[in-house]
Structure 1
Amino acid sequence: MKRFSALLLAIAAISVVQAAEVSVAVAANFTGPIQVIAPLFERDTGHRIVPAYGGTGKFYAQIAHGAPFEVLLAADDETPARLLGEGLGVAGSVFTYAVGRVVLWSPDPRLVDGKGEVLKRGGFRHIAVANPKTAPYGAAAVQTMRGLGVFDTLRPLFVQGENIAQTHQFVSSGNAELGFVAYSQVIRNGRIGSGSGWLVPASLHDPIRQDAVLLVRGRNNPAARALFDYLKGDKAQGVIKSFGYELP
């Protein structure tokens, strides 16, 4: 009986060791996909994701000042590389988990045409754009407007979001009639779910390669390693693609 009890305790101890939590800093545009992936990951691996959502630039500052994140799912490929260079990321861990797309979107089903001509035509008072200095989607929006020759005309109309989540909120709440947001924020069943939008051609801006990096705090956490493997798997990749991202 004692030997049997000891065996049960040993099995329980192994289960505790095997199941772990991972603290993940998630780029705001990837909120939807990770909310779908997290329960699948827990069901399939026993590990649990503890997410925080926000701007990649802000996450970088927090990590540099000792924030206890173990994984960063960034909105760009520059921040993970910078963290590696500063000794805050694990060498060889970086990979591209998604390639983002930008959409010009409005809740008004009649405002945005399928070619983005509204940017030249006008007829609106405010346009929301994420901070191009800290938000890759904002930088892509600025590149798009410059390429179309409308940046100088539209700049006085900007309502600037701190990150892409706030930018989307500005548009959905009516503080701006339209704005450049992440396709993942408005896609439903493979298309823009409500309102009107123009999916910006990828040729109008630099690729939005979103990289993941294992941070030094998570290098010995089995849940962190398992998450990286899971994101590369077919199930997670299917979820990512369903939110309008391109796969690397």
Structure 2
Amino acid sequence: MKKLIMTLLASLALPVSAETLTVAAAADLTYSIEELSSAFAQQVPGAEVKTSLGASGNFFAQIKNGAPFDVFLSADMKYPAQLAQEGAADAATLAPYAIGRIVLWSLDKRFDLSQGMRVLNDERLTRFAIANPDVAPYGRAARASLTALGFWDVVKPKLVLGENIAQTAQFVQTGNAQIGVVSYATVLAPKVKGMGSYYLIPSDGTPPIEQGAIITRHGAANPLAPRFMQFLQSPAARAILLRHGFSLPREKDA
């Protein structure tokens, strides 16, 4: 942590020779990354943030193979930590920036989500969407919660897998899935808010969806990268994340 702080402080004294920052962002940030990027650009005049959205597991593979991203915003801590272990990112910069939450979401009025998880026992349910647990942390979280709550075997034969949490939400929106597990950020987004109904899945007995950011090997030479990492811990960024349905990790002492 001390090394990270020293890196961040040192970056503030550097002239910004690179005006563009490339960020690989987990799909659960679909509705918040633009606001985060704009707020950062306001604090660092002349900075441009180029973002790509997708599954954290896919970004992990791309960055490991040399994809030119400067900062990786994962939907978990596992993928950035693995990149650091393999020398593709700087372990000293790894830091949690948000904690995600998951909900059941449906636009099909036949399903009463006020029942909570019991709605999954409805015999009319034949298509149930989650993100692919092999590449998407939110998919792993969905599987873990459904298992802990005793519903995994109920929905397993009915699964429709999205590549990431954004595609999973699309399955629900288009009717390709009658109910799905999506991020809380999705149902709070202005473009989606008020559509259908949702139920916040209890987190009891399952690990939190702690999301980590890290500077990649490619981003080590970009002075905007540590500035962006510092920005993610700022009151402005934290307020944006809270507004979009994320919880915040506890601030740690240096």
Q: Which residue matches 1:153?
A: 154
Q: CA offset at residue 150 of structure 1?
A: 2.1
Is contact 2:120-2:154 (8 Å) kept? no
Aligned residues: 233
Q: CA offset at residue 60 of structure 1?
A: 0.8
Q: Give the distance between the partners of 1:131 and 1:91, measured in 2 at CA.
A: 27
Unpaired runs of 5+ in structure 1? 1-13
TM-score w.r.t. the length of structure 2 is: 0.86
Q: Deviations over 1:215-242 (max 9, x none)?
A: 0111121111111111110011000001
Is contact 1:128-1:159 (8 Å) kept? yes
Judge which range, 24-33 or 104-113, deviates more. Answer: 104-113
Q: Which residue matches 2:138?
A: 137
Judge which range, 199-208 or 214-223, deviates more. Answer: 199-208
Is contact 1:105-1:195 (8 Å) kept? yes
Superposed CA RMSD in Å reads 1.9
Q: Which residue matches 1:214?
A: 215
**Judging changes above 3 Å, is the alpha-carbon distance between structure 1 residues 57 and 112 closer, same or farther for their aligned structure 2 residues?**
farther
Is contact 1:111-1:196 (8 Å) kept? no
SS at match of 2:92: coil
Q: Which residue matches 1:32?
A: 31
Q: Deviations over 1:18-56 (max 9, x none)?
A: 561111000000121111111121122131111011001
SS at match of 2:148: helix
Q: Which residue matches 2:200?
A: 199
Q: Which residue matches 1:233?
A: 234
Is contact 1:105-1:112 (8 Å) kept? no
Amino acid at match of 2:60: Y
Is contact 2:120-2:151 (8 Å) kept? yes
Q: Which residue matches 1:43?
A: 42
Unpaired runs of 5+ in structure 2? 1-13, 250-254
Q: CA offset at residue 121 of structure 1?
A: 3.2
**Judging changes above 3 Å, is the alpha-carbon distance between structure 1 residues 112 and 141 closer, same or farther for their aligned structure 2 residues?**
farther
* Runs of at least 4 residues off by over 3 Å: none
Q: CA offset at residue 210 of structure 1?
A: 0.4
Q: Give the distance between the partners of 1:159 and 1:88, measured in 2 at CA.
A: 33
Q: Deviations over 1:188-226 (max 9, x none)?
A: 57x953211111112152211100010011112111111
Q: Which residue matches 1:243?
A: 244
Q: Give the distance between the partners of 2:197 and 2:223, measured in 1 at CA.
A: 43
Q: Which residue matches 1:94?
A: 94
Q: Percent identity?
A: 40
TM-score w.r.t. the length of structure 1 is: 0.88
